[in-house]
Structure 1
Amino acid sequence: MIGLTVDELATMPPAELRAAWREHFRSLAPPIGPALLRRGLAWKIQSRAHGGLPSSTAKAIGKAAKLLEKTGSVTLDRHLAIKVGTRLVREWQGKTYHVLVLDDGFEHDGRRYTSLSQIARAITGAHWSGPRFFGLRRATSKKALTDG
């Protein structure tokens, strides 16, 4: 069954899918339905043929799994990692603004916010990417968009 193709998965009954799972993943199939078993097996077949996940993605998934196990939820940080206690400073239209990074959000002007984008909107009155407004992300250049 190692020579299994993605096309063959569509017609396999659940018992065969579970056997294929054992063979490909070297573990018992999880208690999920045939549709998800097919998707998992298809991924495994394709990753063997074309390569698996990049190591950075695998690490991020592992980190998310540990967080889920520990807290019961996973919050997407979109690769934004700022240490608690960090003070962000931004000048906007001649005025300087300070934001303190908290354990569970941010503090600006005596108020708590859950995202930097909320603070950027409060400061500018317009929608901004908070990380970009505070200089934590670089703007995409037109050259980068036309290259490649």
Structure 2
Amino acid sequence: MRHGDFNRLSREELIECWTEIIGSPPPHKLRSPMMAKILTCEHQWQTSGRPRATLVRKLQRLTGAPPNSTLPATSGQRLVREWSGVEHTVDITEAGYLWNGKTWRSLSAIAKEITGTKWSGPRFFGVQT
């Protein structure tokens, strides 16, 4: 089902979808338009393949990982970041960071070139240096 289709369903159909997708009946006083919006969001999460934020936090607590931890950047790694609808790929090499056919000495310089403003390069790309 496409996510826009929930708006066209009757209340009974929304309740049926809710029970199937969420796993329990909806709250009794929840209105149909809000139910459709929540179902749309839930459907998008499930089809995206991304884990829910609550699951990620629970796994971090169980493993002892700090919240929002980042991975160390190592040679041979490829960093990908989308900015303003454009996907930017940076390859980490022994000589530095390769982006758009040019080797750069810092991720921050690349981030500034991409965004036009000063950024922490590691934070922009989600890595530790």
Larger radius of gyration between Structure 1 and Structure 2: 1
Q: Same fold (TM over 0.5)?
A: no
- Tell me which of the two structures has the higher relative contact order, counting C-alpha pairs closer than 8 angstroms and 6 or more residues apart: 2
Tell me the TM-score normalized by structure 2.
0.43
Tell me the TM-score normalized by structure 1.
0.37
Structure with the bigger percentage of strand: 2
